[in-house]
Structure 1
Amino acid sequence: MSSVETPKPLPFIYQFLSGAIAGVSEILVMYPLDVVKTRQQLATTDAYNGTIKCIKKIVKEEGFSRLYKGITAPILMEAPKRATKFAANDEWGKVYRKAFGVTTMSQSLAILTGATAGATESFVVVPFELVKIKLQDKTSKFNGMGEVVKHIVKENGVLGLYKGLESTLWRHIMWNAGYFGLIHQVRSIMPKPKSSSEKTLIDLTCGTIGGTFGTVLNTPFDVVKSRIQAGSTRYIWTFPSLITVFKEEGFAALYKGFIPKVLRLGPGGGILLVVFTAAMDFFRTIHEGK
């Protein structure tokens, strides 16, 4: 199996900052698609079918600003979330390479590292995801993050902020395993870049392909996560919820919101990788120049 040369690791703070910059860049560009995805996943009718139709419906009935409602939670989440994603991936990579006595990353190791990083990331994102879902739901009566957090803590205590943790774990394990695993494989067959523009193009291609594949793997888990966090008592645990959706609404329902999700996380995965890599290169010149 082919391997890809692993760059010299940077200190954790540089990985964290690079992930944070990448995450915020992606969310500012792609957030409306996340609102559309959530609406489609929560709907049990065809009211929000079609990405463009859904956007038009939201704008017509609720105003353009609704496409950005709840963005405060993701913005606050993106820095720790994406920073954790990339930093955990790098740190777990070091652990696994040392544990298995290898110096370079293989595809199987990239998948294992990505899955572990996804599980790590989940513990950071659950409260933010829960707040975001509550605000994006059309029936939401909340006006902001503070109201949602206050309500959840009052009703269910602090641990109530971790509702949907199990389904979030599955969602992030699947996405990160697919994303980082496929990035490694695609990079291994790409020619070595001869210029910074070629490097950017390769990163964008690898990230987009990885993001698309990760989305294919994790969308069913994302659908049930959204329903669990929205508050329905019919959806509690991941796999029973998957079966319920499949039996009552058919297989296609497990991929509700797939188009806006893949439109966001395919190119979004490319944006993440390009910005993260550029930031890491920048910090590497600073670090090595000391």
Structure 2
Amino acid sequence: MSDPKPLPFIYQFGAGAIAGVSEILVMYPLDVVKTRQQLDNTNAYNGTINCIKKIVKEEGFSRLYKGISAPILMEAPKRATKFAANDEWGKIYKKAFGVTAMTQGLSILTGATAGATESFVVVPFELIKIKLQDKTSKFNGMGEVAKHIIKENGVLGLYKGLESTLWRHVSWNAGYFGCIFQVKSLMPKPKTSTEKTLSDLTSGAIGGTFGTILNTPFDVVKSRIQAGSTRYVWTLPSLATVAKEEGFGALYKGFIPKVLRLGPGGGILLVVFTACMDFFRSYHEGN
């Protein structure tokens, strides 16, 4: 059986943007906690709840949303690129391999390629977000950070950490979309809208969790590279340095808040994206 006919790019982009902003508004504080733990090599933020309490007590509740302007501006192009690129690459690969329906292998390949495409969009926003979330940050807004980076390192300075971001997004997207395909293939075909939503929520949450398990080590070193430490430059040597100096477990710093965000967050993403695409498909076919 062939997959549903893909909608024009603009609909994919719009659905991805709406899904991304919906997810970030709900889950952002966990991203702040994740970044703090990843940058911490003294165990000052031991535990998700402890970290939240410490940030609120020492810096105020609003600090849990510090730097959200960058992700909000990033989420639309980031998530839109993720889903749109996944659909577009899916069409290319199905044509290249002469198949009409997605397979497990193709879903992994398509997700990985979409992740690589997404990386080029998100790096400047990720860099600015990390600079704002760092406890030692003296910056007040994303414009101030961007101006400082360009002044110090030129426009290309906004792409610091591109290599580690590629590792992070390729691994997460391959795991996310590949797992979604596998979980959906094992679940009964939904017969009602409620069952469809539950299927999307379940497969998206499992996919988000699996993707997080795969990419957290890359995310840890990405955060340190983008925070400005000269000890971390390239991904694989940085992974070895962290494991050697702090133990293998340090590669999973921030894992709990990250998986709490991207597990349910992956479900939210897929549910909202699918709902938007269903709406756009009915609108497009009715005009």
Equivalent pairs counted in the alignment come to: 287
**Partner SS for 1:65:** helix
Q: How many Å separate the matches in 1 of 2:255 and 2:2?
A: 34
Residue 126 of structure 1: aligned partner = 123
Residue 42 of structure 1: aligned partner = 39
**Partner SS for 1:149:** helix
Residue 81 of structure 1: aligned partner = 78
TM-superposed CA distance for 1:225, in Å, is 0.1
The reply to whether residue 57 of structure 1 matches residue 57 of structure 2 is no
The reply to whether residue 142 of structure 1 matches residue 139 of structure 2 is yes
TM-superposed CA distance for 1:157, in Å, is 0.1
Partner letter of residue 35 of structure 1?
A: V
TM-superposed CA distance for 1:192, in Å, is 1.0
Partner residue of 1:71 out of 68, 71, 78? 68
Partner letter of residue 96 of structure 1?
A: Y
TM-superposed CA distance for 1:174, in Å, is 0.1
Partner letter of residue 243 of structure 2?
A: F
Residue 211 of structure 2: aligned partner = 214
Q: How many Å separate the matches in 2 of 1:135 and 1:158?
A: 18
Residue 258 of structure 2: aligned partner = 261
- TM-score, structure 2 as length reference: 0.99
Partner residue of 1:205 out of 202, 206, 218? 202
Q: Give CA deviations for 1:74-129 in whole Å, capped at 9, x if unaligned.
A: 00000000000000000000000000000000000000000000000000000000
Q: How many Å separate the matches in 1 of 2:170 and 2:263?
A: 17
**Partner SS for 1:9:** coil
**Partner SS for 2:176:** helix
Partner letter of residue 196 of structure 1?
A: S
Q: How many Å separate the matches in 2 of 1:12 and 1:96?
A: 17
Residue 157 of structure 2: aligned partner = 160
Q: Give CA deviations for 1:149-186 in whole Å, capped at 9, x if unaligned.
A: 00000000000000000000000000000000000000
Deviates more, 1:58-67 or 1:193-202: 193-202
In the alignment, structure 1 segments of 5+ residues that lack a partner are none
Q: How many Å separate the matches in 1 of 2:2 and 2:138?
A: 51
Q: How many Å separate the matches in 2 of 1:174 and 1:153?
A: 29
**Same amino acid, percent of matched pairs:** 86
**Partner SS for 1:132:** helix
Q: How does 1:233-244 map to 2 (within 5 A)?
A: 233-244=230-241
Partner letter of residue 161 of structure 2?
A: G
TM-superposed CA distance for 1:26, in Å, is 0.1
Root-mean-square deviation over aligned CA pairs: 0.6
Q: How does 1:7-18 map to 2 (within 5 A)?
A: 7-18=4-15
**In the superposition, relative to structure 1, how do residues 155 and 275 fare at CA in structure 2: closer, same or farther (>3 Å)?**
same
Q: How many Å separate the matches in 2 of 1:256 and 1:7?
A: 40
TM-superposed CA distance for 1:5, in Å, is 5.1
